[in-house]
């Protein structure tokens, strides 16, 4: 049976490839999901990716993840990283390991991006490696699960 991992992409990540490519890179969200799917197969895992610009939709997916057969979550909360106590509470309310991933190094950007509300309730954080941040997060999560 494959290890099932839920990938959550927050607000504005649907615009990857066109939104500030100097900060977020040229790859689209579809490109990132495809490369993650290929890596997952290589690592004997399976991913299901979901993107929403709506905080409540992301929270609902976190709440149902375990019942849907997922054993871990990778999340890029986007701007909600720096604003959402509700997202933090959702992560801490489920009994699943979660990795926080960011394309850019949030600690090297504007000061309001330096604080992550979710960082305190996740297993780890990967940031600053562009699209590779997701791949590193997947490898880290799978290693953590072993």
Q: How far apart are CA 136 and CA 111, in angstroms?
A: 25
Helix axes 85-93, 55-64, angle to 10 degrees: 10
Q: Are 45 and 72 spatial neighbours (Cβ–Cβ below 8 Å)? A: no
First-to-last alpha carbon distance for the chain, in angstroms, is 15
What DSSP character marks residue 71? Answer: S
Which of the residues 102, 114, 117, 144 is marked catalytic?
102
24 is catalytic: yes
State the residue for tokens 């490839």: 17
| CA–centroid distance for 17 within its chain | 17
Which of the residues 24, 54, 114, 117 is marked catalytic?
24
Q: Which residues are catalytic?
A: 24, 102
């Amino acid at each position: 049976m494959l290890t099932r991992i839920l990938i959550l992409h927050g607000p504005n990540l649907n615009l990857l490839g066109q939104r500030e490519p100097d900060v977020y890179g040229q790859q689209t969200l579809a490109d990132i999901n495809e490369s993650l799917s290929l890596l997952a197969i290589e690592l004997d895992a399976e991913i299901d990716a979901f993107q929403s610009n709506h905080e409540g939709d992301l929270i609902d997916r976190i709440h149902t993840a375990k019942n849907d057969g997922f054993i871990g979550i990778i999340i890029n909360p986007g701007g909600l990283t720096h604003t959402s106590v509700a997202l933090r509470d959702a992560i801490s309310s489920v009994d699943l390991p979660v990795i926080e991933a960011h394309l850019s190094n949030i600690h090297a950007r504007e000061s309001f991006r330096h604080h992550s509300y979710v960082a305190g309730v996740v297993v780890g954080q990967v940031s600053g490696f562009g699209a590779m941040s997701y791949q590193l997060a997947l490898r880290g999560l799978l290693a953590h699960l072993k």
